[in-house]
Amino acid sequence: AATAARAATGDPAREAGDLRAALAAAAAEITALAERSDGEAADILAFQVAMLEDAALAEGAFHAIEAGIPADHAWRQALAAEIEGYEAAEDEYFRARAADLVDIRDRVLAHLTGTAGLDVVPRGAILAAEDLTPSRFLATDWSAGGAVVLAGGSPSSHVAMLARARGVPMVVALGETPAGRVALVDGDRGVVVVEPGPQTRQAFEGRMEEAAAAGAAALAFRDRPAAMADGTPVSVLINIAEPAELDGLDPAICDGIGLVRTEFLFHAGRGLPDEEAQLAVYARIAAWARGRPVTIRTLDAGGDKPIAGLTVQEANPFLGLRGIRLSLTRPEVFRVQLRALARAAVHGNVKVMLPMVAVPAELERAGALLDEAVADLKAAGLPHARPPLGIMVEVPAAAISATRFPAAFYSIGSNDLTQYTMAAARDLGAVAELNDAGDPAVLALIASTVAAGAARGVEVSLCGDAGADLSLLPKLLATGLRAVSVAPVAVARVKAAIARC
């Protein structure tokens, strides 16, 4: 939130009004939080509300606005001076208040820049909870840092995957959380140290420095094409779950986008997105890649990804009406997405991918609907192209007999393929050990999919989290796999690991 851009109105009266509204909204938000808190947390929040309601805090900002400075800049400048003052204080109590001011600054900025509604996790804070939904995670601004510890959950759940993609340290299935206490979160080892002593802190800081150094060394690989030790090229693509992940990212670091999860469009809480709204997003993503392939997955709702107005409650949601099954039962919704994708195809190298395909008839029916959408667009004179149609291989039935599917490409969804092969739900900590993508049974299905791709002469990539598991990469490449799609933050270290294979 502290860095989001805002378009200034150029009118000091409106800018002042916007700042007043943002101050009031932030105060109301913190008051509501304080009402749900107790102890020290409630005291800190009450202090923040008092600061916000003190007219002196924003006085400098309102003067700057009168002089023509936009509201967000004026507020940032005014707070910078205050924060500096507190940071320089002799008294430890006052120094500690600087963090509260940073929190207040960011909340008000979130309202000014339209990212309000996002919870801002302050620097160094750990979110402790029983569990966390993917949409709640996405509604939180992690740009300042922060970590998550969960009493429940599982390392292969969607929320864990989102945290990995954004580099947010998360430890799950703790049984209980250290709420309200000081802790160190070690996401690499899955360890939380509560009330660490000075030696533990020092050792931890040393490891953080080492990790930063290893990350810096891997960075040298990020901008080059990936190749194994003997020079064999390997494609490294990226996965994204929302277009904001592309902001500031250079497409030259990857060979394209191997997976765009489109669920974010349907989570916005404004009903199902229409064709124009979808087209705008897909076209933007396609154009970003500058000619590189962009594989957009059709809606993969259901399972642990419920969508209001679309999915239904089921006893076994992972085995139910999800992915392509749901799209085929709601053709009026599916058609809108297919039309938007065909229209976006003129903006770049778009490929369309179907999730949860179990039988060839699903691919055939989706292909017929895509053909219909293309014919309608042609009749309406709208620019379009027919994108190649491929499938996710994530149901064992498809992996065992992939050659039966006349798909333009295969993309192995190792997260779901693992849960279905091992019969171990990806969101359940109790069976997390069984949910192992490196199990020989899962690797055998990956190898058979790679062989099917070779037999049919179509591309095979892997877009599940296994692709970024450095200890698993050598085994994946040993199956003949030559394309992986990983979170943007993982590109450098995956390329570095491929070079060691």
Ligand X SMILES: C=C(OP(=O)(O)O)C(=O)O
Interface mask (CB under 6 A) for ligand X, residues 303-342, using x and -? ----------------------------------------
Rank residues 261 and 343 by Cβ distance to ligand X and give the closer one: 261
Amino acid at 84: E
Rank residues 300 and 459 by Cβ distance to ligand X and give the closer one: 300
Rank residues 103 and 300 by Cβ distance to ligand X and give the closer one: 300
- Angstrom distances, CA of residue 443 to CA of 459, 462, 486: 18, 12, 18
115 touching ligand X, by CB under 6 A: no
Sequence-separated (6 or more) residues with CB below 8 Å from residue 149: 126, 127, 128, 129, 170, 171, 172, 174, 177, 178, 183, 185, 192
Stretch that binds ligand X, among 56-64, 67-75, 314-322, 410-418 (CB under 6 A): 410-418
- Angstrom distances, CA of residue 53 to CA of 26, 101, 324: 10, 13, 52
Residue 69 C-beta: closest distance to ligand X, Å? 44
Amino acid at 254: C
**Angle subtended by helix axes 55-66 and 71-87, to nearest 10:** 140
Residue 258 sits at the vertex; the CA angle it makes with 257 and 263, to the nearest 5 degrees, is: 90
Rank residues 141 and 300 by Cβ distance to ligand X and give the closer one: 300
Which residue's CB comes closest to ligand X?
Answer: 464
Residue 486 C-beta: closest distance to ligand X, Å? 10
- Expressed in angstroms, the distance from the first to the final Cα of the chain is 40
416 touching ligand X, by CB under 6 A: yes
- Angstrom distances, CA of residue 179 to CA of 42, 47, 183, 207, 344: 14, 20, 9, 24, 46
Residue of the chain from 235, 298, 414, 479 that contacts ligand X (CB under 6 A): 414
Tokens standing for residue 41: 């947390």
Residue 261 C-beta: closest distance to ligand X, Å? 5
Rounded Cα distance, 429 and 86, in Å = 43
Interface mask (CB under 6 A) for ligand X, residues 376-405, using x and -? ------------------x-----------
Rank residues 164 and 347 by Cβ distance to ligand X and give the closer one: 164
Residue 127 C-beta: closest distance to ligand X, Å? 22
Rank residues 184 and 472 by Cβ distance to ligand X and give the closer one: 472
Reduce the DSSP state of residue 255 to 3 states and report it: coil
Stretch that binds ligand X, among 67-75, 209-217, 230-238, 407-415 (CB under 6 A): 407-415
Residue of the chain from 311, 415, 421, 479 that contacts ligand X (CB under 6 A): 415
Tokens standing for residue 215: 């990350």
255 touching ligand X, by CB under 6 A: no
Residue 394 C-beta: closest distance to ligand X, Å? 5
164 touching ligand X, by CB under 6 A: no
166 touching ligand X, by CB under 6 A: no
Stretch that binds ligand X, among 98-106, 181-189, 366-374, 412-420 (CB under 6 A): 412-420
Residue 299 C-beta: closest distance to ligand X, Å? 11
242 touching ligand X, by CB under 6 A: no
> How many chain residues touch ligand X (CB under 6 A)?
11
Single out the residue of 198, 162, 168, 161 nearest to residue 185, CA to CA.
Answer: 168
Please report the DSSP string for 142-180 in residue order. Answer: -TT--EEEESS--TTSHHHHHHHHHT--EE---SS--TT
476 touching ligand X, by CB under 6 A: no
Residue of the chain from 128, 161, 333, 402 that contacts ligand X (CB under 6 A): 161
The b-or-e profile of 109-123 (16+ CB within 10 A means b, else e) is: bbbbbebbebbbbee
Rounded Cα distance, 64 and 48, in Å = 23
Residue 59 C-beta: closest distance to ligand X, Å? 49
Residue of the chain from 463, 472, 476, 492 that contacts ligand X (CB under 6 A): 463
Tokens standing for residue 199: 């030696």
Residue of the chain from 256, 302, 306, 464 that contacts ligand X (CB under 6 A): 464
146 touching ligand X, by CB under 6 A: no
Three-class SS string for 16-68?
A: HHHHHHHHHHHHHHHHHHHHCCCHHHHHHHHHHHHHHHCHHHHHHHHHHHHCC
Residue 165 C-beta: closest distance to ligand X, Å? 10
Place of tokens 């009493």: 151
Rounded Cα distance, 444 and 436, in Å = 13
Rank residues 106 and 416 by Cβ distance to ligand X and give the closer one: 416
Quick check: 102 and 109 in contact, CB under 8 A? no
Stretch that binds ligand X, among 379-387, 397-405, 411-419, 441-449 (CB under 6 A): 411-419
Positions annotated as catalytic residues are 158, 463
**Interacting residues with ligand X between 284 and 303 (CB under 6 A):** 300
427 touching ligand X, by CB under 6 A: no
Binding site for ligand X (CB under 6 A): 161, 259, 261, 300, 394, 413-416, 463-464
